Amino acid sequence: MQPSQQPPMGAPYYGPQPAPAGPTMPIDISRKLVFIVVALGVLLMWIGALGLNSFGITDPGALRAFLALAYTGAAVAVFGCVLGALGAPRATDFQRLGLLILAGFFLMAASIWT
């Protein structure tokens, strides 16, 4: 192996260059996206609660299906609230606090069905 050679006098030496970083795209979570995710979760919770409470179903399989739908809706709503609270760069502190409190209410609502 040969020792590295110096560039000739007067020529600029730049040395080893780092690899260029790939394109980065900042994630901007809008209020509309947070609203849509939370609304979808509330809709799923409402359909699950409607099926659990109003049809008089005695089949255990159907009860479990409606319960799973309600739990899935609660999970989607909590995910939307936490996404908005932690991922939205333009949200104020009070908006973040409100979304985290709303996530707690969705968790409490999910615990009612157990």
- What is the reported pLDDT for 46? 94
pLDDT tens track for 39-52: 999 999 999 989 88
- The model's pTM is 0.73
**78-101 CB burial, b ≥16 within 10 A, e <16:** bebbbbbbeebeebeeeebeebee
- What is the reported pLDDT for 3? 65
Give the pair of three-digit tokens for residue 27: 């994630």
pLDDT tens track for 81-110: 999 999 888 889 999 999 999 999 999 999
**In the chain, what's the furthest Cα-to-Cα distance?**
91
